Structure 1
Amino acid sequence: MGRLDGKIAIVTGAGSGLGKAISESFASEGAKVVVTDVNAESAESVATAIGANAMALHQDVADVQRWQAVFEETEKAFGTPHILVNNAGLVIPATIEDCTLEQFRLTNSIMLEGVFLGCQTAVRAMKAQEELCSIINLSSMAALQGYSPFLAYAAAKGGVRSMTKSVALHCKEQNYPIRCNSLHPAGIDTPMVRQAAVGAEGDPTPETGMIPLGGLGHTNDVAELCVYLASDASRFMTAGEYPVDNGTLYQPN
């Protein structure tokens, strides 16, 4: 029996990287998964590989109408979702001195406004559920430490951190069966981190074994925690922030 048997999940930015790994892990634990991405072809590839328990949908997370459509299409195909993972994102290298307003707004439209729209749509849909529900927001270590080379990214992730707690407390105050938590990964071995803008180098991260301080994590290091937070086993956990950082927060240098 899987830890997510009977659950229905939506994962954004799931055409590659963390979203792909999370979708695959959810499906392996028994969930039906809606794989969404602005790159429809990538989303379709992931859903096809998972099989009958997955469906791909195109989604620009900054588009409020598309959020409503994604939830409606999910309900028609599988039922009302129990799980939402807000994962979609991008990285634009720019400091406080050279970040343009357009770059700042673009980054925040996807990674902060997009998470707001996802949480709002999910709460409205999930609040009548009889089963426990879970919203998982991908923040970053940048929200806990700051990250000067990527100002807009750090600002957006900081907003996600505090918004997560507000969403969680609202759901508790209203007695909704919804928990909301944030994850704060350090560098994870994904295409976004490997891109030239971020500059990660070296061999791919192995799935098992110790990782040296400063090394990249594996996507499954995050996906496995997502499975736990999505499952009813974590029913007493809400408004939490969980570093997935190999100790980086306490030994940053």
Structure 2
Amino acid sequence: MRRLDGRTVILTGATGGLGSAIAKRLIAEGASVALTDVDVNACEKLADALGGDTLRLGLDVSDAQAWSAVVAAVHERWGAVHVLVNNAGIGSLGTVETETRERWDQVVEVDQLGTWLGMRQVGPVIERSGGGAIVNIASILGATGGLANSFSYAAAKGAVRSMTMNAALHWATRGVRVNAVVPAFIGTEPLLKRYGGTERHAAMLANTPMNRLGRPEEVAAAVAFLASDDSGYTTGSEIFVDGGWSAR
């Protein structure tokens, strides 16, 4: 059964390794998906590869006006929005001592501010569309000490978790469920290309009880569940797709 037939989804960061897996699963579940990313050409290529009912839009998630344009375009195309997946994100390896203010601002603007702007702009539209879901992509680095670096990323993703709970309470009686997926290290093509065979890759595996990286499809499955009515009594919650990190 396709759980998202008749649903319209806005997905940010659609062209990355995780975003493209999420897009593929949402389309397979029957959703119409607005694929958004700062690289609209990459959105075009992804849409051509995936097929389905899609809209391809450029979006800088830290720009409120850009969000307004995306919402308007999606509403013009489909007349409603039922799901928002806040997936766009950037990282940094800086520690509490080595992180720069410039990089801190960049990471927080995309990962934290971008998530807030998405909820602020799209949540009311989901409510007016008859209800639905917001799914925020957090990170195990925002829930644990991680590998003692990625300081700004951990701060921003920790904020995503608390914003998720706060927004869930805000919309609890108004038909908009807000939940988060909390992945650990996922073996996307960019991650493996950058870190495969390095000491950091070894540290990822050594600190994961299941002793393997996650698969993008495993995160996408959690997103699809939270986007669907199968999670109709779930809000303010988190699904850890982390190979056991949070059990330590």
Query: Which whole-Å deviations, capped at 9, do the CAs of 1:55-77 have from their partners, x for residues lacking one?
Result: 11111101110001101101111
Q: Which runs of 4+ in 1 moved over 4 A?
A: none
- Kindly state the Cα deviation for residue 129 of structure 1 after the two structures are TM-superposed: 2.3
Question: TM-score, normalised on structure 1?
Answer: 0.90
Name the one with the larger helix percent: 2
Q: Provide the secondary structure at the position in 1 that maps to 2:128.
A: coil
Task: Name the residue aligned to 1:178.
Answer: 176
Distance, in Å, in 2 between the alignment partners of 1:159 and 1:195 is: 28
Preserved CA contact (<8 Å) 1:126 1:178: yes
Q: Report if the CA contact (8 A) 2:209-2:245 is conserved.
A: no
Within 5 A, what are the aligned runs for 1:77-156? 77-130=77-130, 132-147=131-146, 148-156=148-156
Amino acid at match of 1:249: S
Map Cα deviations across residues 175-212 of structure 1 (whole Å, 9 max, x no partner): 2110000111000011443353xx2439xxxxxxxx97
Could you tell me whether the CA contact under 8 Å between 2:92 and 2:152 is conserved in 1? Answer: yes
Partner of residue 187, structure 1: 185
Distance in 2 (alpha carbons) for counterparts of 1:182 and 1:192:
23
The share of aligned pairs that are identical, in percent, is 37
- The separation in 1 between residues aligned to 2:191 and 2:153, in whole angstroms, is 13
Instruction: Find the counterpart in structure 2 of residue 215 from structure 1.
Output: 212
Aligned to 1:43: 43
Q: Which runs of 5+ in 1 are unaligned?
A: 203-210
Aligned amino acid, residue 80 of structure 1: A
Give the SS at the match of 1:92.
coil
Aligned to 2:166: 166
CA contact (8 A) 2:222 2:239 kept: no
2: CA distance, partners of 1:186 / 1:121: 28
Q: Check 1:42–1:103 CA distance in 2 against 1; reply closer, same or farther (3 A cut).
A: same
Whether contact under 8 Å (2:27, 2:52) holds in the other structure is no
Give the whole-Å Cα distance in 1 for the aligned partners of 2:103 and 2:41: 26
Deviations 1:109-132 (A, max 9, x none): 0000000000001112122222x3
Measured against aligned partners, the alpha-carbon deviations of 1:4-25 in whole angstroms (never above 9, x if no partner) come to 0010001100012111111111
Q: Provide structure 2 residue ranges, at least 5 long, that are not aligned to the other structure.
A: 199-207
1:157 and 2:157 correspond: yes
Give the aligned partner of residue 22 of structure 2: 22
Deviations, residues 113-157 of structure 1 (Å, cap 9, x unaligned): 000000001112122222x30000000001110232100000000
Q: Which residue of 1 aligns with 2:6?
A: 6
Counterpart amino acid of residue 213 in structure 2: L
1:201 to 197, 202, 205: 197
